[in-house]
Chain A
Amino acid sequence: MIPATFTYRRAESVDEAIELAGQYGEDAKFLAGGHSLLPLMKLRLAQPEVLVDIGRLRDLSYIRDQGDHVAIGALTRHHDLATSELLAEQLPLLHHAAGTIGDPQVRHRGTIGGSLAHADPAGDLPAVVLALEATLVARGPSGSREIPATEFFRGLFESALEPGELLTEIRVPKPAARGWSFQKFTKRAIDWAIVGVAVQGDRIGLVNMGEKPVRATAVEQALASGASIRDAAEHAADGLSPASDVHASAEYRAQLARVLVRRGLEEARARA
């Protein structure tokens, strides 16, 4: 399979990337590692007329300790997240989850910014940044703005980014509650999660439980009002409409969410 024809433009700087995106408008897509976008283009599920390659912008690839938070450049690859000692120490949830994405070849190419901007409800990192209450930094023609992760995911493959806006940095506060867990239920190695759960303290992000990555707010509220883990986890699918597909029915996903949230909260508590 080969993608439909498009024009390839390579940006040499963030400014040039934003300028090129502005020039081509809605016809253009940013290309980072390409491991979400290129497969969609090969299947004709995406058909941008222009790709603006931002893969060479090395100044967007970093992991920095900023005191109360860790700043991660949007072009930092999953491989770099999974091998970072700073993350292993400060954000073990992100460190571990990044190492479970795809396979080594995918992790050599895929980036945190690409994964978040793609806003796939089946992606692992959206649920992780939700549980970590990260802030996403986007740059556009009129400057930078900060978007809380909880306001970033808007719908199926839809984020709060405006056309032409580039995700540049992910700021993750160092969690006060240290216990964490990442539960990913797959049928085979390298599969997407049928359901996944990211837990940091008593914050819970859900993978593949609806049109967009979400927090398990009903569980969080139950925990806050003193419910046991076992009782709180029963609310994992409350108000959510997971998809039925070839991998699992909606009922199966709801049951998985209840089980995995319980396991995740128990593991996080044991680690706290």
Chain B
Amino acid sequence: MKVTITVNGRETSAEVEDRTLLVHYLRDVLNLTATNIGCDTTTCGACTVLLDGEAVKSCTVLAAQADGREVTTVEGLAAEDGTMHPVQKAFHENHGLQCGFCTPGMVMAAVSLLKENPRPTEEQVRAGLEGNLCRCTGYHNIVKAVLAAAEETA
């Protein structure tokens, strides 16, 4: 089937198998490989992207379900001149990553969280990121980064 999806502000279109998952559309069709595939079972959150502005796990969404809708990946966050998004900047400044595998999903989940709750408490940040696993156990600095980004943008 043919799908047309606006990805990071750009209209994309391709003929795909009906069973194509959104994450494969992003990685294999569009070559946007920042979005990682981790557990592949809707658990780890590495594949988190925004669908119409809300965080979803793209390993559990069909490309067909995103047809006609807007998707944002971490590649679409920074400004055109390269200025980082406040959440990216906060992860950088607070050392909110170690190996970096969970980071794209973590950042997108944080962007979605701050959109719904611009001034979260630490507890709300921890609950808001419960769908994203970091196996370096860098949670402490990740939470710090999200709180710093909230401070910066509120």
Contacts and interface: CB of A to CB of B under 8 A. Distances in A.
A6 B19 contact: yes
A186 to B, nearest CB: 11
24 contacts: A2-B24, A3-B19, A5-B17, A5-B18, A6-B18, A8-B18, A31-B65, A34-B60, A34-B61, A39-B41, A39-B42, A53-B65, A79-B54, A102-B131, A103-B131, A104-B55, A104-B131, A105-B45, A105-B57, A105-B131, A106-B57, A108-B54, A109-B60, A109-B61
B40 interface: yes
B73 interface: no
Given A103-B131, A104-B55, A104-B128, A1 B18 contact: no
A109 B58 CA distance: 11
B112 A35 contact: no
A248 interface: no
A108 B132 CA distance: 14
Contacts, number: 79
A189 B130 CA distance: 6
**Closest 7 A/B residue pairs (Cβ):** A103-B131, A8-B18, A189-B130, A108-B54, A105-B131, A105-B57, A3-B19
Interface of B: 1, 17-21, 24, 40-43, 45, 48, 51, 54-57, 60-62, 64-65, 67, 109, 112-113, 128, 130-132
B40 A105 contact: no
A4 interface: yes
Given A39-B41, A53-B65, A103-B45, 14 more contacts: A2-B19, A2-B20, A2-B21, A5-B19, A7-B18, A8-B1, A38-B60, A39-B42, A102-B42, A104-B130, A104-B131, A106-B131, A109-B56, A189-B130
B64 A53 contact: yes
A34 B65 contact: yes
Contact of B40 (A1, A5, A34, A108): A1
A22 interface: no
B135 to A, nearest CB: 14
Contacts of B55: 104-105, 108
Contact of B42 (A2, A4, A35, A51): A35
A51 B18 CA distance: 10
A10 interface: yes
B64 A105 contact: no
A8 B45 CA distance: 25
Contacts of B19: 2-6, 8
A189 B64 CA distance: 30
A34 B109 contact: no
A247 interface: no
B129 to A, nearest CB: 8
Interface in A152-194: 189-190
B56 A105 contact: yes
Nearest to A109: B56
A64 interface: no
A104 B42 contact: no
B49 to A, nearest CB: 10
Nearest to A79: B54
Interface in A87-105: 102-105
A8 to B, nearest CB: 4
B62 A34 contact: yes
